[in-house]
Amino acid sequence: MSATKTETRQALLEAAQRIVAAKGYAAVGINEILTAAGVPKGSFYHYFASKDAFGEAMMKSYFDGYLTSMDAIVADTGRSSAEHLMSYWQRFYDTQAADDRQGGCLVVKLGAEVADLSEVMRLATKAGTTGIVDRLERMIADGVADGSVSVDESPRTTAEALYDLWLGASMMTKIHRSAHHLDRAMTVTRQVLLV
């Protein structure tokens, strides 16, 4: 794929992430994404075989960026594993607490919708969320090893439970338009992780 075609494809994916985060996947038409990305109408299929393939690519692109940001947190060798974990959760909090309907977590926004709508999007979301939990598990295990984290369950079980907690708190924050549920998730996370 040429550099220009790759750049245009990425522009379409980025525009879609913004629009879909605000409206949901099923409510967004291809022409709306093309217009937002400044790409001529009718050229969508030069970049994607189908809307399903586009949705899969959008979720993969979203998770690539998300996992890269998690890796950047861990790359800060001047901080303990507990500090890495709490930095991650603070970023999660800040993103979800913002009153920005075009931001936030695509898993919270689209998880249930795409699980029922598209098998390839469900699998891309499953792979992405598994990647998140894998990284959380490593951070927790590293924290146990360096003594900055103490958990009652295995690092994997703890990572899964905390991620589930935060997804639920994010959903409730959207419903109530209040960060109260995220505040509670942060309190529980500190209780579960910190020595």
pLDDT over threshold 80, residue 20: yes
How much is the pLDDT for 3?
A: 67
How much is the pLDDT for 117?
A: 83
pTM for the full predicted model: 0.91
Angle between helices 81-97 and 180-193 (to 10 degrees): 170
Up-side HSE of residue 73: CA atoms within 13 Å toward CB? 23
How much is the pLDDT for 99?
A: 65
pLDDT, average across residues 56-70: 95
Rounded to whole angstroms, how far apart are CA atoms 114 and 95?
Answer: 21
User: What would the pLDDT profile of 146-184 be if each residue is shown by its tens digit?
Assistant: 999 999 999 999 999 999 999 999 999 989 999 999 999
For the chain, what is the mean pLDDT?
A: 91
pLDDT, average across residues 47-70: 93
How much is the pLDDT for 148?
A: 96
And the tokens for 126?
A: 């499953």
And the tokens for 9?
A: 């494809």
User: What would the pLDDT profile of 96-141 be if each residue is shown by its tens digit?
Assistant: 887 655 557 888 888 888 888 889 999 999 999 999 999 999 999 9
